[in-house]
Amino acid sequence: MTDNHVSGMETSAVSVLKRAVELDQSGRFQESLVCYQEGIQLLIDVLKALKDESKRGHYRDKIKGYMDRAEQIKAHVNQLKEDGKYHEQIKIPEDATGYSYETLFKPYISSTLSEVWVEDPYIRHTHQLYNFVRFCEMLLKTCNKVKKIHLLTSQGEQADNTQQSSALSELRDSLGGQGVTLDVQYSSTIHDREIRFDNGWMIKIGRGLDYFKKPKGRFSIGYCDYDLRCCHETSVEIFHTKHTKTL
């Protein structure tokens, strides 16, 4: 392994662990735990590549410190989950970036996740349907055990209904080709927006999945990469429950 490669891993580890500490200090414990784990693994990889014993000792101490803190957070989060008291709030400021679906949901997606429930009254216009497609893509990328996705949404005007039905039917067929079942139900009274995972996590977003602003153009930064897309101001509430209800 070259010195440049090791230096690059060191830089990445510092960046990820800095983010972990920031999230830790702001009380976003589940997210910070994921960052601590990623950063610790990067430091372990650096340690394996180092020859200088003094540097190796320095990194062993760093790794131990971060591992101890990660274990404390893990125990704290598990106790809150056990007591049914886990609650976390994330404020997304107006025009903020860095809140793609993968960034927002990844800390709550475990390797055992197999079923997802989405309640969102506004999955009917073109951009909202694309948002839902991107959300489904994110699920498939981050967890290969997802087997069923439930969507409860509303229907709009007749013209919108035709597009909505056609788009969701196409998505159902596409997901089916990936071994995933899409179950779509409609409600004329739905108002609340929430996403539930069968591992117990529940995420409520004030604006549902539709919190991204329209890009300035098709060739503008943020058109493809949602981490670079500006957001509307909204709040995200995160809870954990032992028993995830079904629709």
Domain at 1-85, CATH from 1.20.58.80, 3.40.710.10, 3.40.50.720, 3.40.50.300: 1.20.58.80
CB 169 within 8 A of CB 182: no
Give the pair of three-digit tokens for residue 10: 């060191």
Beta bridge mates, 240? 201
Q: How far apart are CA 133 and CA 211, in angstroms?
A: 15
Q: How far apart are CA 74 and CA 72, in angstroms?
A: 5
Nearest to 238 by CA among 89, 63, 25: 89
Q: How far apart are CA 146 and CA 141, in angstroms?
A: 10
pTM of the model: 0.79
Domain layout of the chain by residue ranges: 1-85, 88-240
We find that the CATH architecture of domain 88-240 is 2-Layer Sandwich (3.30)
pLDDT tens digit sequence for 174-213 = 999 999 999 999 999 998 999 999 999 999 999 999 999 9
Ramachandran assignment for 243, one of left (phi > 0), alpha (psi -120 to 50 degrees), beta (any other)? beta
pLDDT tens digit sequence for 103-132 = 999 999 988 899 999 999 999 999 999 999
